[in-house]
Amino acid sequence: MTEHTLKKNPASIPHHIWFADWLREAEAEAADSLGLTLYELMLRAGEATFEVIRRCYPASRHWLVLCGHGNNGGDGYVVARLAQATGIKVTLLALQSDNPLPEEASQAREAWLNAGGVIHAPDIAWSGDIDVIVDGMLGTGLRRAPRDAIARLIRHANSHPAPVVAIDIPSGLLADSGATPGATIQAAHTITFIALKPGLFTGKARDVVGDIHYRSLGLDKWLQGQVAPVARYDVDCLHHWLTPRRPTAHKGDHGRLVVIGGDAGTAGAIRMAAEAALRAGAGLVRVLTRAENVSALLVARPELMVHELTERSLSDALEWADVVVIGPGLGQQNWGKKALQKVENFRKPMLWDADALNLLSASPDVRHNRVITPHPGEAARLLNCSVAEIEYDRLAAARKLVKRYGGCVVLKGAGTLVADASQMGIIDAGNAGMASGGMGDVLSGIIGALLAQKLEAWEAVCAGCVAHGAAADALAVKFGTRGMLATDLFTTLSRFVNPELLELESFSGASQRT
């Protein structure tokens, strides 16, 4: 039962994600296949949690353990018993219910009592010397906001100076969507078991999960025989998509990309998208924009081919292009509408972003050769719903977008989702510094460049999103998240669109340590 920690050793965290409902139903089958009981799995989960807490907080002497009325609470009883056996002072609070505990949780509770443990009511006063709070209140079965009594405990835990360690998932976070419909534990660490759940990586997850630790509980081989519905994509996946170029490669091998947009006052958007495409390796990039933008763009980035957008230049460009990106700074006036009407029948790969999506929402259609990259506000317009509805269940929203518009969908945000008709992934890269203007334009250019380099749409969107987020992560390590500019990514992007460099860095680092 090897343990892995997401932020410290990401290469060893699984790249497969399962929905919690399926996992709960399959858990008994998995245990039975190994000759284990569900109680034995609970013991393993409690042991794993205890070990992580001891390693993260070795000087802690008083633990407060909050136990719910389900198997998550059963894990808490195991943690409490193990801690008390090593001489740690344990205060255990248990939520009350008229329903009986599940069998294995009842066994764990009895073992705690038989070891001399005491169970306190949840309304007792908390002493001031608590070093660690263990959250075993609500597990992955939560469907709605926590009840008032639990919500009060959650708020009390969050306001206490001691760090909170969550068992499997922070109480209040929905395991399948990452939504937080009510009070939610803000954990410093979360130890999750058997399989990763989507709610740990998207929605509000990053605000509340802290450092994620994973323990398979010995079910690795069983999981390998299952088909995961969602993939987790991170930096370690890049080398699968982006291989080194042939020494004899020339610019014609790497695609002709046309980028369309930049209405009055938005030349920056089209410039960022176009330069990002160059930085991500497109062979040739042609920009069609307003006449007044041409000189400025050529001076700023002479490697671009920049032309005024006219009916003639657009027809020529579409005949020339392998891929089209349209939308950054396009606007929603007649100038942009006419361009989009011409582009919509383009038969080769294309990407629509920004104002192209706003125009699409007014006249929906299905295009299987199209990538769309909405942020939650654009997604809400595309689905004629509220942003809150999008954010409450981002996975469901991504599926709806694919069904209504076809092609590949990139639903941006913390825990960006990628989806097409047959698969879904969560991008495990990026940070809060990306909450600034122009980041979406840069992403569009990167994905467009990868499409031009003959990657399939799914590979292009996944690789593009990971490289985009990883470039921002590299900046955040050096400079922090506040004040990050979209064009700052150009200084770090090359490492990630050339992942062989990452392998060399890793090898060099390992050599220096030996």
Strands 4-5 and 211-215, by their bridges, are antiparallel
Residues paired with 306 in a beta bridge = 287
Q: How confident is the model at residue 31 (pLDDT cuts 50, 70, 90)?
A: confident
pLDDT on residue 508:
55
294: helix, strand or coil: helix
Taken as a whole, the chain contains a residue count of: 514
**pTM of this structure:** 0.94
Strands 408-411 and 370-372, by their bridges, are parallel
The first and second tokens of residue 29, run together, are 């089958």
Q: Are 381 and 404 in contact (CB under 8 A)?
A: no
Alpha-carbon distance 459 to 446, whole Å? 12
Alpha-carbon distance 298 to 292, whole Å? 11
Q: For the purposes of burial, counting CB atoms within 10 Å of the CB of 131, is it exposed (0-12), middle (13-18) or buried (19 or more)?
A: middle
Residues 422-461 have pLDDT tens digits of 999 999 999 999 999 999 999 999 999 999 999 999 999 9
Residue 279 makes CB contacts below 8 A (sequence gap 6+) with: 445, 446, 449, 490, 493, 494, 497
> Euclidean distance between the first and final Cα of the chain, in Å?
26
Q: How many CB atoms lie within 10 A of CB 477?
A: 10
Q: Where are the beta strands (DSSP E) in 37-125?
A: 62-67, 89-94, 119-120
Q: How far is CA 357 from CA 338, 341, 365, in A?
A: 14, 13, 11
Alpha-carbon distance 255 to 278, whole Å? 11
Alpha-carbon distance 230 to 89, whole Å? 41
In this predicted structure, the answer to whether residue 120 has a pLDDT above a threshold of 80 is yes
Of 455, 448, 457, give the one whose Cα is nearest residue 324: 448
Residues 448-503 have pLDDT tens digits of 999 999 999 999 999 999 999 999 999 999 999 999 999 999 999 999 999 998 87
Residues 216-232 have pLDDT tens digits of 999 988 888 899 999 99
Alpha helices in 384-438 (DSSP H): 387-392, 394-405
Distance of CA 165 to the CA centre of its chain: 21
In this predicted structure, the answer to whether residue 149 has a pLDDT above a threshold of 60 is yes
The first and second tokens of residue 311, run together, are 């009916």
Q: For the purposes of burial, counting CB atoms within 10 Å of the CB of 41, is it exposed (0-12), middle (13-18) or buried (19 or more)?
A: buried
Spell out the domains of the chain, with CATH numbers in brackets: 4-228 (3.40.50.10260), 237-505 (3.40.1190.20)
Strands 62-67 and 89-94, by their bridges, are parallel
97: left (phi over 0), alpha (psi -120 to 50) or beta: beta
Q: In what order do the strands lie in the sheet with 4-5?
A: 4-5, 211-215, 189-193, 164-167, 132-136, 62-67, 89-94, 119-120
Residues 44-96 have pLDDT tens digits of 999 999 999 999 999 999 999 999 999 999 999 999 999 999 999 999 999 98
Alpha-carbon distance 78 to 445, whole Å? 51
The first and second tokens of residue 344, run together, are 């919509």
Alpha-carbon distance 95 to 67, whole Å? 6
Strands 370-372 and 350-352, by their bridges, are parallel
Residues 267-304 have pLDDT tens digits of 999 999 999 999 999 999 999 999 999 999 999 999 99
CA atoms within 13 A on the CB side of 140: 27
In this predicted structure, the answer to whether residue 3 has a pLDDT above a threshold of 50 is no
pLDDT on residue 505:
72
The first and second tokens of residue 316, run together, are 């020529």
Range in 21-25, 344-348, 396-400 with the lowest mean pLDDT: 21-25
User: CA 140, 142, 143, 146: dihedral to nearest 10 degrees?
Assistant: -150
Q: For the purposes of burial, counting CB atoms within 10 Å of the CB of 189, is it exposed (0-12), middle (13-18) or buried (19 or more)?
A: buried
311: helix, strand or coil: helix
Q: Are 257 and 452 in contact (CB under 8 A)?
A: yes
Of 143, 139, 147, give the one whose Cα is nearest residue 170: 139
The dihedrals phi and psi of 408, each to the nearest 5 degrees, come to -105, 140
Angle at 58 between CA 57 and CA 60, to 5 degrees: 70
Residues 294-325 have pLDDT tens digits of 999 999 999 999 999 999 999 999 999 999 99
In this predicted structure, the answer to whether residue 33 has a pLDDT above a threshold of 60 is yes
pLDDT on residue 12:
63
